[in-house]
Each structure stands twice: as C-alpha cells, then as structure tokens.
Amino acid sequence: MAEDAEAAAECGGGGDSGAGACEPGVAPIKAQYRTTKERFHQYLDADQREDACQETPEGDPEGSDLTEPEAKRIRLEDGQENGKAEATAEPPEQQQAPKRARGQNKSRPHVKPTHYDKERLCPSLLQESATCAFGDRCRFLHDVGRYLESKPADLGPRCVLYDTFGRCPYGVTCRFAGAHLGPGGQNLVQEEVVARCVHLPPVRNGLNRALQQQLRKRQVCFERAEQALRRLTQSPRPAGIPETTVATATPEQNSCHAPLDTTGGAGTPRGSPVSTCGPLTDEDIIRLRPCEKKQLDISGKLYLAPLTTCGNLPFRRICKRFGADVTCGEMAVCTNLLQGQMSEWALLKRHPCEDIFGVQLEGAFPDTMTKCAELLNRTIDVDFVDINVGCPIDLVYKKGGGCALMNRSAKFQQIVRGVNEVLDVPVTVKMRTGVQERVSLAHRLLPELRDWGVALVTLHGRSREQRYTRLADWPYIKQCAEVASPMPLFGNGDILSFEDANCAMQTGVAGVMIARGALLKPWLFTEIKEQRHWDISSSERLDILRDFTHYGLEHWGSDTQGVERTRRFLLEWLSFLCRYVPVGLLERLPQRINERPPYYLGRDHLETLMASQQAADWIRISEMLLGPVPPGFAFLPKHKANAYK
C-alpha cells in the first residue's frame, strides 16, 4: 500500500503522543512490542527451525501443524544459499539499494490447478455414469486403484462437504476422502443430513449448459435491448455535448456479436416493427415506469464494495457474518458474460445469506452493456445492477471502460439509459472523482446521472491518477452529496474504524461503502455497529481464516483443484490482513489506513506470524489450514506493495 506523509490530517484524528509516533506514516505501536526487521525474522525463523526438528503428530484434526514440508524447506534453504552466494559474488560498488516495489505483479508465477494432479480420474466415475461419453478417446483414468496409488495423502480426517451436506460429490478425488469412503472405496452418504439440506436454499445465479451453448453460438435474441438501442441512436443529440462526442457507429459495429436478424427479412428497414414468435403478453407490450421499478432503500446501511479477486463469495459470507448489510459481486466484464465464460458467470453467484445483493458490470459500449443487462435481467436474481465507472487499471481504461467513461459523456449516457431501460431492478453507478488528480468531474456528472434514472451513486474519493497515493477527498464527497440530492450518494475511501465511519456520515452521505478496510479487518462492520474497538485475538483471527477455508471448499470444491484455488484466494487475502495492527498494541487509537505497520513482536507467536509481510509466512499460515503446498508451488500477491522484503 502506498503511503503519504501528509496522512496526519485525516478527519477525526487526535494528537499523537509517545515514542511510537515519531516516524510519520507508521502506525504508533507501544515501545515494548516494537522490534527491528532482523529480530522479527530471526524470531519466526528460529521457531520454524524448532518445529522442523520436532516430530509432527499425525492426524491433527484442525490441521494446526506449523512445520514446513521437507521439500519446501529444502527449496527455501537452497534459495537462501543461492541468494547469499549471488550477493557475495557481486562487487560492493555495483550493489544498489533495492527499489521499493510498487504497482502490479503482471508476470506472477502461476501453477495451473490441472497440473497438481498427475493422474486425473474420469468425471464419469464421480457422476456414477454407466459409460464414459468419450469412450476410448477419454484422456482420464478409469482405474480407481491406480488413481489412489498416485493420489496425495489426505489433508485431514474431516470433510466439510460431507459434514455440511451429508454427501461429498467429489468422492475418491476429495482431499479429505477418508471421512466418507467405505471399506470398499464406496462414497458414504448421511441420509438424515441430505434430507435436511434438501430444503435449504441453494446458491443462485449459476449458468446452465443450455444457455451457455446458445451464447457461444450467438443464438440468444436481445429484442428488448435492440429496441432500446434503436431509440437511443435515433434520439437527438443531448444539449451541451459536442457533436464530435456523439456515437456515429451503429450498435452492431461496436458489438462483439454478429447482428441479430429481428426484422423478418433481408433489406427490411431498421425502423420496421420487430417480428415476434409466440403469443404476446402484457410484459412484452407494457414497460415498467421508473416509479414502478423495485426500489433500492439502503440508506444508512453498511455496503461491502465489489472487490476484484478478494471479494469472492466465501469472503462475502465472512463479511455478512460480521454485519455487512449490502454486498456486491466482483466486477464482471459484459463481453465475457455474453460469450458464456463460466469463470465470469461465477462472479455473479449469490449465497442465500446475501439478502441485499447486486452485481457489477464493466463495459465500454452501449450495445454490449445493454444486451448483457437484458440477459441478466431474465436469468439471475439480484436486487440491483451496478455500472463500473471507477476501475483505474490500464486494461480496462484503454478500452474506454471504467474511469474512461467519465470523459465519454455521450457513451456514458447511452449505457446508463440503455441498461436502465431493459432492467426491472434499480441501476447504480460506482465512480471516482475523475481521471486526473486536479480535474474533478463527479460533481458535473451527478445531476445528469440523476436525470438518467440512476437510483444510487457510490463515489470513491480519489481520481484514477491518484490511485492510493493520497487520502480520500471527503470534503469533495460532501460537496457531491449536496449536488446529487435527492439521489442518495454513498461515500467510499479510508474507512478503517467506527470513528472514520462516523466522520464520513457527517458529510451528508446516505451511507458508506467499505473496501480495503474490510480486507484488513472484516470485523470492521461489527465495530461500526457496536461503536467499539475490538481487540481481537490471534486465535479468533485464525478461526475466521478457518471458516473462510471451509466456505472456500464448499464453493470451489474439496478436490485438489478446489483446495489450491481456496489457498490462492486465502493468500491474496492474507496479503492485506498482515497490515492490521492489534488494538492492544497501539499507542493511539484508531489505526489509520495509510499508516504502514512497523515490525513488532505480538503477544503470542501466531500474532507475530500474522504480522509478517513475506509471502513465505503467508504460505505457512495456509498450510496450517489446508495442508502442505504441492511441489513447485509459488505465490506472489497481486500487488507488489503487498509483500515487503
């Protein structure tokens, strides 16, 4: 996380006192806990060596073994020796101070989950099918005995899926298969638990195979979207918008799909009535007026931001348990959804505990966004759809999406109006103050968004150019809340305590959205609702991580691929959790989000381990919960600034 030395002036802060506040931009920790980088790592390394020398008990029910696997320990030692040899071989005059890593790790090492299993069992055996659909051409194993010979050892004696649902659908491929395999290798079933779970509401918003095939073959018809786009392109140029910014291309020219033949024949003018198939209903003819749409009343509620990578369904379940009122899925690219990509549709899944849930769409063109909105309107169950106008990454910005829409007012208007027309649920917008640091655009766009039919706007108090190098501009958010009235506006940025949330609400916003604060401490929602600082213990924090792994195994599966996917998202989350400083160690409350934690020794070993900013120690924590990492495993966090060396 990039820090700024000017952070001391944040709203609600008090005067710093004591020795811990001598260094700007660093969290003030009590003197008895502070240490140096060398002593910090010596403490963890010494404990690691002691654990390696001790015999590990077999069958630990909670998987709380702190020792490193032998292969991994050898790799670490070899890497340290090679690093020392390279350092000694380089002349002192050529050695330079290491440059602080910032930005994204775009070339991260990644082992595909399919490579973890050398021998993979045919899915037909797991589905108990009579025959394999591929016959002799099948690339997978059909010999269960041979598969079990090469399968790695179980990671624990209990299977989360078997205990929760009464049956594990992964059978012998489950990494906890010993909990539900009979003497003959058959998959056991708890009939009572299965009968009880039949009445539980399932996870919603999945993509069925038939719809996926239709999307891939471009056989889905978007009549409602086509009509809305035709009206938008034929409407007169909006007042105040230069002629050069008005879209001149037809929706088909901007679309990633082939044009749909909805006119009944070649050469028919586009203005002719659309041919229909089947009987007409009132829904086909009568459109909902804006006042008849489902209302979105979330004023005063705590809104968990749509967090890319870390805002997955298991993490949202954790936040819901601690008091989050509104949740939103990760940013989904509309073109990927229209192509039927399973990985993109997985971002739309909704757990039964998410009572107020929305999805966020990203796109640069009105045709793809409107068609995607119509598709979601008739296939998934959500309470609102959010349009992403705040994504700052180059991959999105250079294509005209995300923050770039703030400078493309004509396209922005067509997207909002088109999406709003085809949806039966409210439309919201998440945006930044602007693109450039000194040129704010939000206050000029908010009145237009209100006129375009947006139900709610969330404003992140930074520009694209600033990223996280400055504090959120809450005085500007206050100005925008007045301009946007009566449309509700939520504020977002730098909320890490209930004092920060109280100060934010004093600006006149309808509510607060919490993003990084939830990653650093998901119990922040409880602190805000109970107006207190929670000095949470390291064992309680480990229990939260254990619950996350259980939710992850339910969501991604308990086979090798599911376990390693759960581990990957756990490690990404740990790259943020390490920045949290326990309340009992601070000289001054609360911790500021822009203050980096210094090196300190916690009140126990686990608290110290959780404060480590090295990826190797995050892997140790993951091994306590998910067992040893596979051979050749490597991890770097998504952002370079998350792993200090």
Residue 337's CB is within 10 A of a number of other CB atoms, namely 26
Residues paired with 361 in a beta bridge? 332, 387
* 3-class DSSP state of 216: helix
Active site residue 334: no
User: Please, what is the angle between helix 560-577 and helix 313-321, to 10°?
Assistant: 50
3-state secondary structure 316-354: HHHHHHCCCCEEEEEEEEHHHHHCCCHHHHHHHCECCCC
DSSP string, 417-469: HHHHHH-SS-EEEEEES-SSTT---HHHHHHHHHHHT-SEEEEESS-TTTTTS
Amino acid at 168: C
Structure tokens at 480: 């925008």
What Rg do the C-alpha atoms of the chain give, in angstroms?
Answer: 27
Is residue 229 within 8 Å of 251, Cβ to Cβ?
A: yes
Residue 606 CA to residue 585 CA, distance in Å, equals 15
Q: Is 63 exposed, middle or buried (0-12, 13-18, 19+ CB in 10 A)?
A: middle
Distance, first Cα to last Cα, the chain = 14
Place of tokens 């308990």: 558
Structure tokens at 207: 């993509």
Amino acid at 617: D
Residue 314 CA to residue 149 CA, distance in Å, equals 32
Is the Cα dihedral 326, 332, 338, 340 positive or negative? negative
Sheet with 427-432, edge to edge strand ranges: 302-304, 511-514, 489-492, 456-460, 427-432, 384-389, 357-362, 327-333
Amino acid at 75: R
Structure tokens at 11: 């709203």
Nearest residue to 421 (alpha-carbon basis) of 221, 230, 624, 208:
230
Is residue 531 within 8 Å of 499, Cβ to Cβ?
A: no
Is residue 538 within 8 Å of 607, Cβ to Cβ?
A: yes
Q: Which of 391, 403, 503, 578 is catalytic?
A: 391
Residue 251 CA to residue 458 CA, distance in Å, equals 28
Residues carrying an active site annotation: 391
